[in-house]
């Protein structure tokens, strides 16, 4: 009786491809929205706290959209693909942002942001599979 070849290799490549596609979409959205917001801030005076809130919102929307795209690309296990997109983006955000001298205060504030970004990716992945 012939042995059927396993499709685990193809499945893992599809998973990785979906995650990369989702992270790419999230990154492109965040970069374009940040450039647009930079142009707006040259015209209108915006408070620093408003800038921080807008950037947090842009990041969450970007990761949500990335999760949707990754979920649609994977067509299965969207919650897992979206979760990984959110985690990857949250780790990159944590490493790339802030002043490391703030220590624990920065860690807990960034931890909340990482959880919300990860949740946005998770929800986007779930929605992406079901669209």
Task: Give the mean pLDDT of 24-37.
Answer: 93
Task: Give the mean pLDDT of 93-103.
Answer: 64
Q: Who wins on pLDDT, 110 or 47?
A: 47
Q: What is the dihedral of CA 30, 31, 37, 38, to 10 degrees?
A: 150
pLDDT on residue 112: 79
Q: Who wins on pLDDT, 18 or 111?
A: 18
Q: How many CA atoms lie within 13 A of 66 on its CB side?
A: 36
Task: Give the mean pLDDT of 122-127.
Answer: 91
How do residues 31-64 score in pLDDT, each as one tens digit? 999 999 999 989 988 888 888 888 888 989 999 9
63 near 87, Cβ under 8 Å? no
Q: How confident is the model at residue 106 (pLDDT cuts 50, 70, 90)?
A: low
* Structural domain spans, the chain: 15-130
Q: Distance between CA 53 and CA 66 in Å, rounded?
A: 20
Residue 130, H or E segment: helix 104-130
Q: Distance between CA 44 and CA 53 in Å, rounded?
A: 16
Q: Distance between CA 72 and CA 39 in Å, rounded?
A: 32
pLDDT on residue 102: 54
Which of 22-26, 36-40, 88-92 bottoms out in mean pLDDT, i.e. has the lowest?
88-92
């Amino acid at each position: 009786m012939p042995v059927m070849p396993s499709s685990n290799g193809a499945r893992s490549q599809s998973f990785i491809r979906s995650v990369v596609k989702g992270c790419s979409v999230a990154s492109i959205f965040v970069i374009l929205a940040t450039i647009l917001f930079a142009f707006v801030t040259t015209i209108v005076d915006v408070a620093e706290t408003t800038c921080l809130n807008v950037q947090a919102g842009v990041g969450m929307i970007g990761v949500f959209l990335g999760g949707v795209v990754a979920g649609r690309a994977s067509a299965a296990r969207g919650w897992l693909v979206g979760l990984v997109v959110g985690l990857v983006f949250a780790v990159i955000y944590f490493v790339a942002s802030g002043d490391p001298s703030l220590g624990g205060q920065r860690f807990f504030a960034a931890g909340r942001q990482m959880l919300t970004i990860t949740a946005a990716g998770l929800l986007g992945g779930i929605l992406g599979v079901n669209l």
